[in-house]
Structure 1
Amino acid sequence: MQHSLERELEVASIAVQYCAHLTNQLQQQTLSPESSIKKWDHSPVTIGDFAVQALLTTAIRSEFKNDNFLAEESADELRENAALLDQVWDLVKTFRPSFPSNHVPSSKADLLDAIDQGGRGDSSNEGRTWIFDPIDGTATFMRGQQYAINCALVIDGREEIGIIGCPNLPIDSGTVHENNVDNGGLGLMIFAIRNQGTWVRPMQVDANLAPATRVPRHGDQTAMDQLIWTDCSTYTSTIQHLQQQVAAKLGTSWPGVDLYSSIVKYAALGLGRASVCIRIFKFASWRSNSWDHAGGILIFEEAGGKVTDLDGKAIDFGHGRKMSENHGLVCAPTSVHAEVLRVVQDVLKAYGSIPWSR
């Protein structure tokens, strides 16, 4: 596989694989209450989230010194909580021998700086910006279920590389389930480069990347009666009864492949283990976080999928931390996206206006 971003793909893929090993080992431990916190939106963040963000940033920054970073976490909590910072630093030090020497923070100050380089990043419309979600699905990660490490390279606001590491997702399974965990390996990595297709490989516990296999472009031939929905039955941010109506009109069951992590959903879509994902937010003002979608959309589209917002507009990653120009989400195979979008818009029209805010 030859392309102009070969070195970027290699460096980022190895970093994701190292971090998959770290999180896999951490997940097998019992995280104490002191190892996690609740953020302002009540979502959890663990020492693993902080460690992975620092390691991904440091590894990629060591090779591409002029690139920008945008990621979910900031180091504010660590600066205010010395005990939590000590746990993150101890975790990084434990895995330091496994990483190339220049790919790990050299001190606590370096660790905090690496986290904040992405956590305080807010621009993605010019130049090269790496977008990370260090552990997407932290709640399910803490329960020993599915989660993902997400890494994307956006150039001038457009996805060019997408890498998703799923340490618990068996590579040979025909479906995706929270509790169907790869206990004998390190799961899989699914990745894409624009115009180079979608690829998948098993992850390994070293610096070597296993050979990759190209995923067929399944989204070009999918028929309406073959659609498999993927959603989360416990989400509180979406109007679920409208999404259920859309699923019923499409003749597919809801929630279908029931997954908490947005990024694991994209892995399922890319692999062809699901084919439709719709997001209708409760409030018209709500916008998605870039790290919950960047890279994942490219992976699905390179496998024959198409992703737009509820108005049919292409997704724009040129506005920093939020997808501010896009409301909601319609992911479907290219072969049927127009019909799926029509059904969604018909359901929305019958429902009436969605309130702007709370």
Structure 2
Amino acid sequence: MPAYDRERTVAFRAVQTAAELCQSVRADLDGDVMEKDDRTPVTVADFGSQAVICKALRDAFPDDPVIGEEDSSALRADANADVRAHLLEEVRAHHPDVNPGLVFDWIDHGTDAGYSERFWTLDPIDGTKGFVRGDQYAIALALIVDGRPQVAALCCPHLPSAIDADPPASRGQAFLAVRGEGTVQQPLTPDTDAVPTPIQTSGTTDPSESRFCESFVSSHSSHDLAAQAGERLGITADSIRIDSQAKYAIVARGEADIYLRLPRPDSPDYTERIWDHAAGALAVEAAGGTVTDMHGTPLDFTHGRLLEANTGVVATNGPVHDEVIEALAAAQA
């Protein structure tokens, strides 16, 4: 039995449940969008996803801390009573006897902040703006052991089975990875005959033949620096523009070769959050790719909630990685 077989199974079932909740919320999203202190949106689905995933993790691995993005503090305010009621309705679809206090406890099980030798990190909805817009988003869960992601369940509830073939029935894919064992793509369909498919990054070796996968929202990364690096590499192919950690999935299954998350000129000291990258990074690495920061340094998950030792993120198919790092350095010289 693989060393992390149980963790992978629990993680997949947890994100699958969260995806059902999120899709239910999105089908009837009507004003339940709050704004956090950093001006980013948060919805019933963010809270509900964190609640059901943290419950599953606490039941299966009670000693494992969870570093998640959300907490229940805003939900407790009288002004958010309607959001709280909607959240309870959605969670009760999966856990009928739950009460508000227990839902808050499940959410706050994901509020650990410090580093542990073994812990989970969770982004209950990565790409909330895409979720609200009816576009791509991801549910990203990863197990970190000794500072390295070892298990990932990256769930993309609106992503088709292939980027250039979009039958509605194929939307909803999970990308499951265990370090050293590869990455598989697993449909979210309840069809018991659906089998996971091993995926690999592309075999592109000439950087000029590469294709970028970029953020749909330009404020998430420095597109100018990426364009300068692309020009130095001779890249002419149109980029794939998509929300969330689904970009990692696109690189992992070989539909793009390079994903850059670079500091913007107006926030050069921004530090990435671990939940924004842990699951996606492992999905790419286990599929044969390489993920570092923009200086070629491996991502360091030993600093709690932040990637404090890293600047930006570069994910590639592997063969072109060194040349991408060199192009970024030259573009900044």
TM-score (norm 2): 0.92
For the pair 1:87 / 2:86, whether they are aligned, the reply is yes
Cα distance in 2 for residues equivalent to 1:198 and 1:289: 23
Residue equivalent to 2:235? 252
How far, CA to CA, are the matches of 1:225 and 1:238 in structure 2?
Answer: 22
Which digits, 9 at most, give the CA deviation of each residue in 1:180-224, with x for residues without a partner?
5x5325511111100001111111248x694211113535x5432
| Match of residue 269, structure 1, among 221, 244, 251 | 251
Q: Is this contact kept in 1: 2:33–2:44, CA < 8 A?
A: yes
Distance 2:176 2:299 in 1: 19
Deviation sequence 1:289-344 (CA, Å, 0-9, x none) = 11110111111011121111122110011111111110112222221211110010
> What CA distance in whole angstroms lies between the structure 2 residues aligned with 1:140 and 1:197?
28
1:290 corresponds in structure 2 to: 274
> 1:237: Cα distance to partner?
4.5
> Contact 2:139–2:154 at 8 Å: present in 1 too?
yes
Contact preservation (8 Å) 2:64, 2:118: yes
RMSD: 2.0
Aligned counterpart, 1:232: 215
Deviation at 1:14, TM superposition (A): 0.9
Aligned to 2:133: 143
What is the TM-score of this pair, normalised by structure 1?
0.86
Paired residues of 2:211 and 2:238 also in contact (CA < 8 A): no
2:112 to 110, 116, 121: 121
Q: Which amino acid aligns with 1:245?
A: Q
Q: 1:40-69, CA deviations, whole angstroms, 9 ceiling, x for partnerless residues? A: 222111001100100000011101111110
TM superposition shift of 1:90: 1.1
Q: How many residues align?
A: 329
Contact 1:218 1:303 in 2 (8 A): no
* d(CA) in 2 for partners of 1:237, 1:217: 24
Look up the SS of the partner of 1:95 in the other structure.
coil
1:1-358, aligned counterparts within 5 Å? 2-29=1-28, 31-33=29-31, 35-80=32-77, 81-96=80-95, 106-118=98-110, 120-124=111-115, 126-174=116-164, 183-205=168-190, 210-218=194-202, 222-232=205-215, 234-253=217-236, 256-261=239-244, 263-281=245-263, 282=265, 283-349=267-333
Deviation at 1:254, TM superposition (A): 7.5
Is the 2:117–2:145 contact (alpha carbons within 8 Å) kept by the matching residues of 1? Answer: yes
2:30 partner letter: S
Is the CA contact 1:247–1:254 (under 8 Å) kept in the aligned structure 2?
no
Pair 253,132 (structure 1): closer, same or farther in 2 beyond 3 Å: farther
Kindly state the Cα deviation for residue 71 of structure 1 after the two structures are TM-superposed: 0.6
Q: CA deviation at 1:255?
A: 6.6
How far the C-alpha of 1:132 sits from its partner, in A, is: 0.8
> Given the superposition, is the C-alpha separation of residues 214 and 297 from structure 1 closer, same or farther in structure 2, using an over 3 Å criterion?
same
Structure 1: 5+ residue stretches without partners: 98-104, 350-358
Structure 2 Cα separation of the partners of residues 12 and 273 of structure 1: 25
Task: Give, in whole Å, the separation in 1 of the partners of 2:132 and 2:261.
Answer: 25
SS of match in other structure, 1:214: strand
The AA in structure 2 aligned to 1:323 is L
Rounded Cα–Cα distance in structure 1 between residues aligned with 2:35 and 2:120? 25
Opposite residue 114 of structure 1, the aligned amino acid is W
Tell me by how many angstroms 1:242 deviates.
Answer: 1.7
Q: 1:215 to 1:239 in 2, by over 3 A?
A: closer
- With over 3 angstroms needed to count, the CA separation of the structure-2 counterparts of 1:302 and 1:57, relative to structure 1, is same
State whether residues 92 and 98 of structure 2, in contact with CA within 8 Å, keep that contact through their aligned partners in structure 1. no
Which residue identity does 1:22 align to in structure 2?
A: L
> Given that residues 251 and 317 in structure 2 are in contact (C-alpha distance below 8 angstroms), is that contact kept between their aligned partners in structure 1?
no
Q: Is this contact kept in 2: 1:140–1:146, CA < 8 A?
A: yes
**Structure 1: how far apart are the matches of 2:69 and 2:190?**
25
Percent identity between matched residues is 33
The structure-2 alpha-carbon separation of the partners of 1:90 and 1:171, relative to structure 1 and needing over 3 Å to count, comes to same
